[in-house]
């Protein structure tokens, strides 16, 4: 068994609260209460709020890499793997309807605050972007793979945003279905040039 350090607990609690409530709206007392720490002790682990944010982003980057690696192993074909990505919208539907996409909403908030960590948070997008790009290359798209990656990323962001505003499950299902159809249509023709 892995002993969960206090630091880890703080990062996980902060991660959750930042996602559910937002970075600005989350206070130290808020996080400390979840972990069961006094506010004073908090500063032993993190000196400033920005330090916690950096730790949370690093934690999310690490979790995301692990998830992408898992999809790499599970999916038989690149197309299957991309479907894993699209399906997050279904898997996390309830959370997305309540709090939006964790990546998109964090990037938006940090952009507004013009926060030093805004580009660091965007690395989360880059992780997905590069992974998707590689899948499209593996399908056979020697050119345009990155454009395809951005397109599918864009769609998932759009669906998440409207899912939060309208909380319409049928809409989410429909758009996921449409994304999968689009994906199928992107298979390069097997006929020779």
Partner DNA sequence: GTCTATACGAAGATAGAC
Partner DNA sequence: GTCTATCTTCGTATAGAC
37 DSSP assignment: -
Q: Note whether 64 binds a second copy by CB under 8 A.
A: no
Chosen residue from 12, 34, 49, 151 binding DNA by CB under 7 A: 49
Minimum CB–partner distance for residue 17 and a second copy (Å): 10
* Closer Cβ to DNA, 42 or 85, answer by number: 42
Is there binding between residue 38 and DNA (CB under 7 A)?
yes
Q: Which does 150 bind (CB under 5 to 8 A by kind): DNA, a second copy, none?
A: a second copy
* Contacts for 80 with CB less than 8 Å, ≥ 6 apart: 74
Residues of this chain, 124-143, that bind a second copy according to CB under 8 A: 125
- Which contacts qualify for 70-74: CB closer than 8 Å, 24 or more apart? none
Does position 174 bind a second copy by CB under 8 A? yes
User: What is the per-residue burial (b if ≥16 Cβ within 10 Å, else e) of 62-100?
Assistant: eebeebbeebeeebeebbebbbbbbebbeebbeebbebb
Q: Which of 69, 74, 71 is nearest to 85 (CA)?
A: 71
In whole angstroms, give the CA distance from residue 130 to residue 88.
17
Q: How far apart are CA 161 and CA 72, in angstroms?
A: 27
CB-count burial class (<10 Å; 0-12, 13-18, 19+) for 3: exposed
For DNA (CB under 7 A), the number of binding residues is 20
192 lines the binding site for DNA (CB under 7 A): no
Q: Say whether residue 122 binds a second copy (CB under 8 A).
A: yes
How many residues sit close enough to a second copy to count as binding (CB under 8 A)?
39
| Residue 30 is a binding residue for a second copy (CB under 8 A) | no
Contact residues toward a second copy (CB under 8 A) are 20-22, 24-25, 98-101, 104-105, 107-109, 111-113, 121-122, 125, 147, 150-151, 153-159, 161-162, 164-166, 171, 174-175, 178
Contact residues toward DNA (CB under 7 A) are 5-6, 26-30, 36-45, 47-49
């Amino acid at each position: 068994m892995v002993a969960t350090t206090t630091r880890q607990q703080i990062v996980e609690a902060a991660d959750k609260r930042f996602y559910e409530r937002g970075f600005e709206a989350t206070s130290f007392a808020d996080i400390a209460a979840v972990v069961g720490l006094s506010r004073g002790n908090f500063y032993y682990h993190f000196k400033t709020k920005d330090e916690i944010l950096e730790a949370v982003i690093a934690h999310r980057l690490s979790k995301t890499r692990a998830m992408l690696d898992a999809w790499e192993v599970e999916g038989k074909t690149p197309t299957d793997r991309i479907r894993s990505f699209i399906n997050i919208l279904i898997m996390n539907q309830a959370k997305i309807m309540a709090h939006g996409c964790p990546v998109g909403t964090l990037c938006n908030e940090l952009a507004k605050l013009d926060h030093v960590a805004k580009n660091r948070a965007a690395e989360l997008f880059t992780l997905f972007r590069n992974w998707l790009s590689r899948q499209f290359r593996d399908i056979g798209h020697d050119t345009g793979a990155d454009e395809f990656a951005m397109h599918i990323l864009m769609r998932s962001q759009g669906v998440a945003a409207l899912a939060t505003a309208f909380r319409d499950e049928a809409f989410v299902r429909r758009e996921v279905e449409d994304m999968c159809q689009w994906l199928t249509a992107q298979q390069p023709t097997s006929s020779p040039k």
